Structure 1
Amino acid sequence: MEKQIAAFAGATGPRVPTSEQIARAPKVLLHDHLDGGLRPETVVELAADCGYAGLPTADPKELGEWFRAAADSGSLERYLETFAHTCAVMQTRAALVRVAADCAEDLAADGVVYAEVRYAPEQHLEAGLSLDEVVEAVNEGFRLGEANARVRGRRIRVGTLLTAMRHAARSQEIAELANRHRDRGVVGFDIAGAEAGHPPTRHQAAFDYLKGENNHFTIHAGEAFGLPSIWEALQCCGADRLGHGVRIVDDITVGEDGAVGLGRLAAYVRDKRVPLEMCPTSNLQTGAAASYAEHPIGLLARLKFRVTVNTDNRLMSGTSMSREFAHLVDAFGYTLADLEWFTVNAMKSAFLPFDERLAMISDVIKPGYAELKAEWLFGPRG
């Protein structure tokens, strides 16, 4: 079958997938913020439940448009301000369960088969919940959402990353929290927030603790700040993955003749297969790239960096994994084989045991793409 497909592609040239095929393709998501992916109607209803009067509008459609417009400012700092509204309505156990369940269901409906969703427990304590109660509520919501997705014929597994805020001083506490809930839904740790003025080395003790516990962590680095942020995340802190990492392109030169040169940091990232959690639409909003066609993901993928495609904040960016893939197909002419490559990259880089990652690739991802590729030859089944 694979030889037939390869021969078909060679005879007719590569064919880009349709939007319907992209929607059906199995996807893996490593960089998605829980407080950045709420349904607008959920925000409105939760605001009414808790008496939050700070929303710019109570109309769900208008609110969704407001979030996207506010995030389109080109400034990371302005982008982060939109989270004040979502976090405000995520302060009770019931609200956290609902938001997490919605998240799992929405991702499953978009064809995501594995997701790592991150959030900062320290931002959900205003109504009296403890850090452990926040984690337990979110995990309960994800299990509920997974079950609801199964009823609809969709499969998804969701792991959580506990995030500490770069500007705060609770990273050690959150790292210990992540370790305490390890193997109970939490798969790793992260730091997030404005990079400038808040280097990852401020949280070195937390990273050293996690390494001592043989635990996984990723670091937001190389998004709004440049190569020093990436270098520190890798060489000082020992990050397993880079959240965004888009500015690694600053260490790559492309000559007028098309010759490509990699600086030592870029070569290290590629040689060590450091996963890059790239979020194209979000990067356009924060000014890290001018357009999809100019996004560094095209060059980095061509150079075979360990590139993954992600949503970052589905509400603020008005996006989904299918939309992210569709934008890249339009910009670079990617085929189903390319989308499969991104997906396998992500699954290889997930914070799951090796045998579970391998099973997901062999039993779910590759068969799903093989079926879609076969449709080019034989048409859809049935």
Structure 2
Amino acid sequence: MPTEYRLEGDGTNIQALPKISLHDHLDGGLRPQTLLELADEIGHEVPASDAEGLDRWFAEQSNSGSLVEYLKTFDLTTAVMQTREGLTRVAREFVQDLAADGVIYGEIRWAPEQHLTRGLSLDETVEAVQSGLEQGVDDVRAQGRGIRVGQLVTAMRHADRGLEIAELAVRHRDRGVVGFDIAGAEAGFLPSRHRTAFDYLASQYLPVTVHAGEADGLESIRSALFDGRALRLGHGVRIAEDLIIDRQDDENTYVSLGPVAQWVRDREIALETSPSSNLQTGAIAAWGDELIDHPFDLLYQLGFRVTVNTDNRLQSGTTLTRELALLSDAFGYDLEDFETFQLNAAAAAFLPLDDREELAEQIQNGFDDA
């Protein structure tokens, strides 16, 4: 049976609360049983013979404390997502699982260039995923609920296809794509490598989020902001490296902001934090190795636009509901805090203003009814 998470104090069912998911990878959200079945169809070897064993394997591989090691688990997930049928099924189930988690709007990011080994073109991969997403939305609607989703087309930062993938995203902007991202090994691969792609996206008015401040520090964040024109930072937790602790007493910590942190906070550039993933990959190693050490709360108290995300539900064995529960346990957050996180995400969604305001209203109504 799935774990039921309730808010300590008032007993609110966290899963039932309306949520927004901004940072969730398609190839990090497969159901283990689906992975087994798709692997069997294409004759791909897997490290376990049943879903429970595969789940354990992912957990063991993902808790290395290294982003590079963590990313190796995606060799298996992407291997079974090389056909139209595989992509469509994974995308359809992804939406079903988001809705079951209480998500009312989700942006699903993935890298089409990693799904070409069995003959699909870039455009065909995007079309296959979109078909699955739409089927998932229909499935949710048939159950009497509603969900809206969009694709974040992602380029791999270590490759040289940034402009090509940016052009792909723009071609499909009226057919499901809502924005662009770069992902992959961060250290040594600054966003500036893809400046031409970002220039093109800016000329086409397509919004951008950039993985930055996870496995690299302020230089990466600075490049995401000024080379990538990022409106959001994927993870972004290492922006805390630009906070200067002036003094502390028994009740308060007094902090000054460096120029990059000041810019991010003042411009309300959203941080797409993923607490469990940040622990697994060592993104917060400078502050500690437990959730209580995560700079999330400090950033929240300082007024940064923090959002809560899963990153990879399979690798982290998590849901958005669980991530909120873990944060509540660590920092004592209540229903009002949870609502703030969702309203932050609604404001940062890559949607027109009217749609963002509608999302905010849905969030407020859902929390009022909780």
* Shorter-chain TM-score above 0.5: yes
Q: Which residue among 102, 108, 129 is the counterpart of 2:120?
A: 129
Gaps of 5+ in 2: 1-6
In structure 1, the gaps of 5 or more residues are: 1-13, 373-382
Please report how far the alpha carbon of residue 237 of structure 1 lies from its aligned counterpart in structure 2 after TM superposition: 2.2
Partner of 1:339: 338
Correspondence for 1:299 = 298
1:30-89 Cα deviation digits (max 9, x unpaired): 000000000000000000011112x11121101011101100000000000000000000
Answer yes or no: is 1:271 the counterpart of 2:262: no
Q: 2:203 aligns with which of 204, 212, 216?
A: 212
Query: 2:9, 2:109 → 1: CA distance?
Result: 32
Correspondence 1:59-74 to 2 at 5 A? 59-74=50-65
Please say if 1:21 is aligned against 2:13: yes
Please give the secondary structure, in 2, of the residue aligned with 1:42: helix
Higher-Rg member (1/2): 1
Deviation at 1:17, TM superposition (A): 5.2
Could you tell which deviates more after superposition, 229-238 or 242-251? 229-238
2:223 aligned partner = 232
Secondary structure of 2:151's match? strand
One-letter identity of the residue aligned with 1:29: S
Contact 2:107 / 2:151 at 8 angstroms: preserved in 1? yes
- Aligned equivalents of 2:227 and 2:363: distance in 1? 34
Which residue is 2:95 aligned to?
104
Task: Please give the alpha-carbon distance, in whole angstroms, between the structure 2 residues aligned to 1:17 and 1:103.
Answer: 30
Counterpart Cα distance in 2 of 1:193 and 1:57 = 26
- Answer whether contact 2:80 2:86 (CA < 8 A) is retained: yes
Are the counterparts in 1 of residues 18 and 366 from structure 2 also a CA contact under 8 Å?
yes
More helix by share: 1
**Structure 1, residues 103-135: CA drift from partner, whole Å, max 9, x if none?**
000000010000001000001111100100000
Once the two structures are TM-superposed, the CA of residue 175 in structure 1 deviates from its matched residue by: 0.2
Partner AA of 2:126 in structure 1: V
Q: Give the corresponding residue for 1:365.
A: 363
1:1-382 matches, cutoff 5 A:
16=9, 18=11, 21-53=13-45, 55-254=46-245, 255-257=247-249, 258-289=253-284, 290-362=289-361, 364-372=362-370
CA deviation after TM superposition for structure 1 residue 16, in Å: 4.5
Say if 1:101 and 1:145, in contact at 8 Å, map to a contact too.
yes
Give, in angstroms, the shift of residue 153 of structure 1. 2.6
Report the residue type matching 1:213 in the other structure.
Q
Alpha carbon RMSD of aligned pairs, Å? 1.1
The number of residues matched between the two structures is: 356
| TM-score (norm. length: structure 1) | 0.92
Distance 1:246 1:47 in 2: 35
Rounded Cα–Cα distance in structure 2 between residues aligned with 1:183 and 1:309: 27
Partner amino acid for 2:297? G
Match of 1:10 in 2: none
Q: What is the CA-CA distance between 1:236 and the residue it aligns to?
A: 2.4
TM-score (norm 2): 0.94
Residue 235 of structure 1 and its aligned partner are, at CA, apart by 1.9
Measure the CA separation in 2 of the matches of 1:248 and 1:74.
Answer: 19
Equivalent position amino acid for 1:221 in 2: A
Q: Percent identity?
A: 56
CA distance, structure 1, for counterparts of residue 16 and residue 357 of structure 2: 21
Cα distance in 1 between the residues matched to 2:23 and 2:54? 23
